[in-house]
């Protein structure tokens, strides 16, 4: 084994308690949604996880369908785990999810007990793990009773294949009901993973209040709005960027063009604060105590280090928050 983590890794950041649970998470966690699939440079993926752990990031977030192709991010993570991280398993929080399309036929997506538990078994096999720390319902299923999906999460914990359970992409009403069911089953919901950024604030319309009321923590994804809240799109759309790819299922060129003036205005605020735009965007979502951790993606280690450096910035003033809202 060639990798030895930095001996001072736990002195570099402070950890946040996840809701009213006993678990603490780093303020920044690493998502393996992109840049860990079979189409990516394996050694670069490995280097980024080394960099993250060396700097105190203990939480790696996956899902069954991450890649591409689907499943390859878990499989590649499993290789890296076996090579470098197995001695440190008890220092890591590893999560995965099930909910989106993963295999053909009627049992390959959504929230049935059949799909959820089969998917978890497959994820554990791909990663070479006995258990995950957090198992998520990745999205609510409009046709499966919520009791069935939550029952599957409960079974995952009782079988020893997960330590905690979470929800992702649930709206306030369905989130509240899911939390109630899980509590009655005896497996309380640890965490919710919604999309949240300066440019996308839907969680402020009820969900954050429900999280506070129920004592569930939050880890937010896309806090950089898929790269729009970075320096990447300040002046143009780079030819090698996600937005320039006409086949991109998410970020589109028109979307970037529409927000470019807003992003430039936000960048000016960040510069006055002594932060990069990406650093400020992470600080902004973390300013709320409800948000336990911000989930970031990265394509190189330098991006991880840049985000971590921004955690030392001063709290926002009322004037700065007002300027961000105005922008």
On whether residue 178 sits in a domain, the answer given is yes
Mean pLDDT, the chain, rounded, equals 94
What's the structural domain count of the chain? Answer: 1
Q: Which helix (H) or strand (E) holds 150?
A: helix 146-158
- Res 232: pLDDT: 80
* pLDDT, tens digit (0-9, with 9 covering 90-100), for 165-200: 999 999 999 999 999 999 999 999 999 999 999 999
On whether residue 242 sits in a domain, the answer given is no
On whether residue 271 sits in a domain, the answer given is no
Going by their DSSP bridges, the two strands 24-25 and 28-31 should be labelled as: unpaired
On whether residue 266 sits in a domain, the answer given is no
> Which SS3 state, helix, strand or coil, does residue 23 take?
coil
- Res 274: pLDDT: 96
The confidence band for 231, taking pLDDT boundaries of 50, 70 and 90, is: confident
State how far the Cα of 199 lies from the Cα of 228, in Å rounded to an integer: 9
Beta bridge partners of 220: 294
- Res 218: pLDDT: 98
Q: Is the confidence at residue 75, as pLDDT, over 60?
A: yes
3-class DSSP string for 275-299:
CCHHHHHHHHHHCCCCEEEEEECCC
Q: Is the confidence at residue 241, as pLDDT, over 80?
A: no
DSSP 117-136: HHHHHHHHHHHT-S-EEEEE
- Res 261: pLDDT: 86
- Res 260: pLDDT: 83
Structural domain range at position 95: 9-227+279-317
State how far the Cα of 15 lies from the Cα of 64, in Å rounded to an integer: 27
On whether residue 261 sits in a domain, the answer given is no
- Among 46, 48, 44, which residue's Cα sits nearest to residue 57? 48
- Among 205, 212, 188, 224, which residue's Cα sits nearest to residue 288? 212
Looking at residues 26-42, what average pLDDT do you find?
Answer: 97
* pLDDT, tens digit (0-9, with 9 covering 90-100), for 4-14: 999 999 999 99
* pLDDT, tens digit (0-9, with 9 covering 90-100), for 115-172: 999 999 999 999 999 999 999 999 999 999 999 999 999 999 999 999 999 999 999 9
Looking at residues 211-220, what average pLDDT do you find?
Answer: 98
- Among 133, 169, 130, 135, which residue's Cα sits nearest to residue 150? 135
On whether residue 272 sits in a domain, the answer given is no
On whether residue 262 sits in a domain, the answer given is no
Q: Is the confidence at residue 251, as pLDDT, over 80?
A: no
Going by their DSSP bridges, the two strands 189-193 and 217-221 should be labelled as: parallel
């Amino acid at each position: 084994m060639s990798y030895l983590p930095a001996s001072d890794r736990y002195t570099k950041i402070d950890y946040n308690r996840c809701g009213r649970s006993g678990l603490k998470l780093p303020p920044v966690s690493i998502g393996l949604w992109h840049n860990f699939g079979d189409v990516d440079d394996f050694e670069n993926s490995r280097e980024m996880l080394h960099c993250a752990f060396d700097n105190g990031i203990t939480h790696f977030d996956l899902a069954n369908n991450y890649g591409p192709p689907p499943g390859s991010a878990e499989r590649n993570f499993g290789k890296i785990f076996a090579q470098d991280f197995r001695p440190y398993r008890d220092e890591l929080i590893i999560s995965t999810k099930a909910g989106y399309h993963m295999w053909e036929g009627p049992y390959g997506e959504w929230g049935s007990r059949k799909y959820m538990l089969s998917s978890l078994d497959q994820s554990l096999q791909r990663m070479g793990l006995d258990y995950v720390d957090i198992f998520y319902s990745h999205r609510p299923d409009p046709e499966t009773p919520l009791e069935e999906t939550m029952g599957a999460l409960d079974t995952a914990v009782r079988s020893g294949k997960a330590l905690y359970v979470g929800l992702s992409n649930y709206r306030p009403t369905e989130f509240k009901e899911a939390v109630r069911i899980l509590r009655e089953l005896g497996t309380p919901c640890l965490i919710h993973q919604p999309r949240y950024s300066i440019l996308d604030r839907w969680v402020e319309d009820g969900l954050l209040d429900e999280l506070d009321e129920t004592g569930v923590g939050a880890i937010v994804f896309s806090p950089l709005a898929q790269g729009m809240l970075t320096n990447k799109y300040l002046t143009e759309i780079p030819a090698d960027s996600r937005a320039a790819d006409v086949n991109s299922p998410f970020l589109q060129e028109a979307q970037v063009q529409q927000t470019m003036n807003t992003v430039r205005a936000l960048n000016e605020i960040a510069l006055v604060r002594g932060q990069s735009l990406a650093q400020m965007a992470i600080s902004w979502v973390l300013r709320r105590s409800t948000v336990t951790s911000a989930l970031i993606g990265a394509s190189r280690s330098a991006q991880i280090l840049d985000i971590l450096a921004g955690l030392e910035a001063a709290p926002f003033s009322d004037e700065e928050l007002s300027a961000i809202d105005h922008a």
